[in-house]
Amino acid sequence: KNEVEQSPQNLTAQEGEFITINCSYSVGISALHWLQQHPGGGIVSLFMLSSGKKKHGRLIATINIQEKHSSLHITASHPRDSAVYICAVEEDSNYQLIWGAGTKLIIKP
């Protein structure tokens, strides 16, 4: 079974800083998802990746299949980016999403 590890667990930064959140997993996957969970609990999908890199606004997600590693970057961070960012993977063998524990990001003005 896949183990999904995220780092750091908690991250506090100043507005404007470049943010990197990392995710590693242990076995082959068909896709990796980055999701955002707001303080009220709601979950929003940010990216789904199976290779390479995707960009949406100030968010960039990359994945290295060989190294079983993905990163989520936020450029020009803003206090409204404060949330929990979660990595989740789909294994080759089934359709279940296996979730990481999340990275709690706080951006201070």
Partner 1 sequence: EPEVTQTPSHQVTQMGQEVILRCVPISNHLYFYWYRQILGQKVEFLVSFYNNEISEKSEIFDDQFSVERPDGSNFTLKIRSTKLEDSAMYFCASSRTGVPRETQYFGPGTRLLVL
Token code pair at residue 105:
């990001």
Of residues 21, 86, 105, 107, which one binds partner 1 by CB under 8 A?
86
Amino acid 82 reads: S
Should residue 49 be labelled a site residue for partner 1 when binding is judged by CB under 8 A? no
Smallest gap, in angstroms, from Cβ of residue 5 to partner 1?
A: 11
Residue 74 or 84: which CB sits closer to partner 1? 84
Give the strand pairing for 69-74 and 19-25.
Answer: antiparallel
Residue 14 or 45: which CB sits closer to partner 1? 45
Strand partners for 4: 25
Should residue 63 be labelled a site residue for partner 1 when binding is judged by CB under 8 A? no
Of residues 9, 39, 41, 80, which one binds partner 1 by CB under 8 A?
41
Should residue 60 be labelled a site residue for partner 1 when binding is judged by CB under 8 A? no
Of residues 23, 61, 70, 90, which one binds partner 1 by CB under 8 A?
90
Amino acid 101 reads: A
Q: Using CA atoms of 41, 21, 64, 1 in order, give the dihedral in degrees to the nearest 10.
A: -50
Should residue 89 be labelled a site residue for partner 1 when binding is judged by CB under 8 A? no
**Could you give the strand order of the β-sheet that contains 52-56, starting from the edge strand earlier in sequence?**
4-7, 19-25, 69-74, 59-64, 52-56
